[in-house]
Amino acid sequence: MEVDQESLHASKAEATQVETDLSDETQDFRLLERLSLLTDTSSSSLPKRGEKDFEPNPTVYQADILAASRQAMHNALSHPRMHPPKTHALGFYAPDGPKPPPGVELDHRGHGVSSNCCVCVPNPKGVVFKTIGQGDRWNRIWLLPEEALYLLERGSLDIRWPSSADEHVAGGSDLESDLSIPMSLQAAYACFLGQSGLTLERYSVYSSLRRLGYAVVRASGWDDSPAARAPDRRVDGYTQPQLRGAGLAGMFSMLFNWMHDPKSTASTAAGPLVGTGIHRNYAHIYQKLAIIPWYDPTTVPDRDPLDTDAPFRVVFHIYKPSTAIKKSALPPPDYRIAVVNTREQTTLPTLSQLGALLESTPLDPPKGEKMDRILSLRLRQGYRNVILAVVDQGVASYLRISDVAFGKEKIYQNKGPPSGSKNQKNFKSKKR
């Protein structure tokens, strides 16, 4: 993928064909013509996509199109990749973790970066470092394994092997960097995967999201340490629909119920639930029907992110490109993501695993005027949500899971007949 993207720039006209289906070349040629000819702004005709060829046919025409697009793809892929001299950043591999610059003793304040970091960039250049890496006290940037690997793969970083002792970490002279040995991409994969809990699955999720422009940072659930069981949670979030209100109010309501339905034969044991007496209204009937306890996500307190079962725990926090990020003080993330390797975790999460994962995310109830108005939006938003990246042999599918509280939406309370207000309106306007 990376290759494609980079070479897109260089190969000019040919590159335009790369993105589209190989069989769609006809429109692309014409599209280009149209776009370049489009000098008068008043023209209203728009480029349009034609029909696909669904099967091979014996025409030379089709064969030519195929050959042309293959060539275009080849041209795109064969474009050389290089480091632009302006933003050439040099990193040094530090297999033993962060170290102070040579000649500086580490004092009690430490170096100020995570001990999982393993690549040091003494002279960070370019905007990528705005969201990547952690600065230490000596203005160097330390990279986590996934960050270093991603930057190397992207062509933004030149990682050097440590040569003798730690001298290079000093990030000093050009002479030193010239003498040191560049790390190959293969070597980088070998070195960085497996370090401090970085799996290939996590890396592929990280890099694909990064490439899309999201800022991705590790979350507290990164370590696969066994679940830190919190003491018994007394609130399990399930309703008790059969309980009637206690105290005076409850007695009054019972009295009123009796008054309204004195010959109530309602029995939960043998049915019918609604009884055979007189029903005041449908809301009353629905209340009697509600005997199944359901989970109310709003009543449950937040859970410690570590009180979850790996791999169902949040490993990455994700920020949208529009979110302003300060590396030192990260805002609440836009998304939380858990990464699952389907070859290790072959089954869906059980209720407790999923419940713990969801409860470890903060309550995010549906808000806003639109949510209030549109029921289906409200239901879909849910009360807590998390994204599950299910990686199967390198292919990641992203699932958004949210708690739905159907039980909180008592439709019968704000609605009369099933057709509701919309038809009412309708029938008013269309009287016959």
Partner 1 sequence: MTDKPALALGVPAVAGQPRPRPQRPNYRQIHRFPLPVQTHSVPSVIPHNPISLISVALSYLTFLFSPPRQEVYNAYFDPAVSAIHVTDERAIRALWEMGFFGKGSLSRSEPSWLVREKARRGQLGGDTSEEATRKRRAERRELKLERARIDDLIIKERTKAETAAREAGTPLESSESLTVTMEKFSVKRAMDAKYQELLRQRTAEAETNGTANGNSVPLQGQVEAVRSNGKTVRFSPVVRARRFSTEVDDEDLELELELEPENEEHLELSKEEALFLVYGLGALQLVDMNNVAIPLSSLIPLLCHHSYSPPRELSYDIQPDDPFLTSYVVYHHFRSLDGGPVFSHAEFAVIIVPAYEHPYWSETQERKEYVARKQDRSWWWLHCVNRVQASVKKTLVICYVEVPPPSSSYDDVGAMLGRYRIKASDWAVLSRNWSILETMEWTETQDSIDIAALQRVALGLEHDPTLPIVPEPVTGISHLETDHRPAAFPYASPSGLEPSSPSLPTPPSVPRTLHSSAQHYAEKSSNPHTNLKEVNETNLMSGPQAGPMGSAEALPSDTQPVSQSVYDSIIRQNVSAFGGASQNGADAATLMTLHEGDSGHIDLLAGFESNHHEENGSLAPDEESNYDQSESSPMAFQPELFPESQRFMAQTPGTVMKKPPTPQYCQNTKLLTEPFGGRG
Instruction: Give min distance, CB of 317 to partner 1, in A.
Output: 13
Among 75, 116, 134, 156, binds partner 1 (CB under 8 A): 156
Regarding 230 and contact with partner 1 (CB under 8 A), the answer is: no
Q: Looking at beta carbons only, is 59 or 115 nearer to partner 1?
A: 59
CA 121 – CA 115 distance, rounded (Å)? 15
Regarding 165 and contact with partner 1 (CB under 8 A), the answer is: no
Specify whether the backbone of 87 is left (phi greater than 0), alpha (psi in -120 to 50) or beta: alpha
Amino acid found at 159: I
CA 316 – CA 312 distance, rounded (Å)? 12
Beta bridge partners of 388: 338, 399
Beta bridge partners of 390: 340, 397
Regarding 314 and contact with partner 1 (CB under 8 A), the answer is: no
CA 76 – CA 11 distance, rounded (Å)? 6
Omega into 272 within 30° of 0, i.e. cis?
yes
Regarding 66 and contact with partner 1 (CB under 8 A), the answer is: no
CB 114, CB 90: distance < 8 Å: no
Amino acid found at 249: A
Region 240-279 residues binding partner 1, contact defined as CB under 8 A: 242, 260, 263, 267-279
Regarding 102 and contact with partner 1 (CB under 8 A), the answer is: no
Instruction: Give min distance, CB of 225 to partner 1, in A.
Output: 22
Instruction: Give min distance, CB of 364 to partner 1, in A.
Output: 9
Regarding 9 and contact with partner 1 (CB under 8 A), the answer is: yes
Q: Looking at beta carbons only, is 173 or 258 nearer to partner 1?
A: 258
Residue 12: DSSP 8-state? H
Instruction: Give min distance, CB of 93 to partner 1, in A.
Output: 21
Regarding 16 and contact with partner 1 (CB under 8 A), the answer is: yes
Region 340-399 residues binding partner 1, contact defined as CB under 8 A: 340, 342, 346-348, 350-352, 354-355, 358, 366, 368, 370-371, 373-377, 379-382, 385, 387, 390, 392, 395-399
With tokens 């809990």, the residue in question is: 197
Stretch that binds partner 1, among 93-101, 173-181, 227-235, 318-326 (CB under 8 A): 318-326
CA 332 vs CA 27, 298, 317: distances in Å: 45, 20, 8
Q: Looking at beta carbons only, is 163 or 409 nearer to partner 1?
A: 409
CA angle 49, 54, 55 (to 5 degrees): 140
Regarding 69 and contact with partner 1 (CB under 8 A), the answer is: no
What's the token pair of residue 86?
């302006």
Count of residues engaged in binding partner 1, rule: CB under 8 A? 157
Q: How many Cβ atoms from other residues are within 10 Å of residue 367's Cβ?
A: 10
Stretch that binds partner 1, among 187-195, 227-235, 308-316, 404-412 (CB under 8 A): 404-412
Q: Looking at beta carbons only, is 112 or 271 nearer to partner 1?
A: 271
Regarding 335 and contact with partner 1 (CB under 8 A), the answer is: yes
For residues 294, 296, 300 and 304, what is the CA-based torsion angle, rounded to 10 degrees? 80
Regarding 208 and contact with partner 1 (CB under 8 A), the answer is: yes
Q: Looking at beta carbons only, is 94 or 119 nearer to partner 1?
A: 119
Among 78, 139, 225, 419, binds partner 1 (CB under 8 A): 419
Q: Looking at beta carbons only, is 144 or 170 nearer to partner 1?
A: 144
Closest CA to 406 of 245, 304, 292: 292
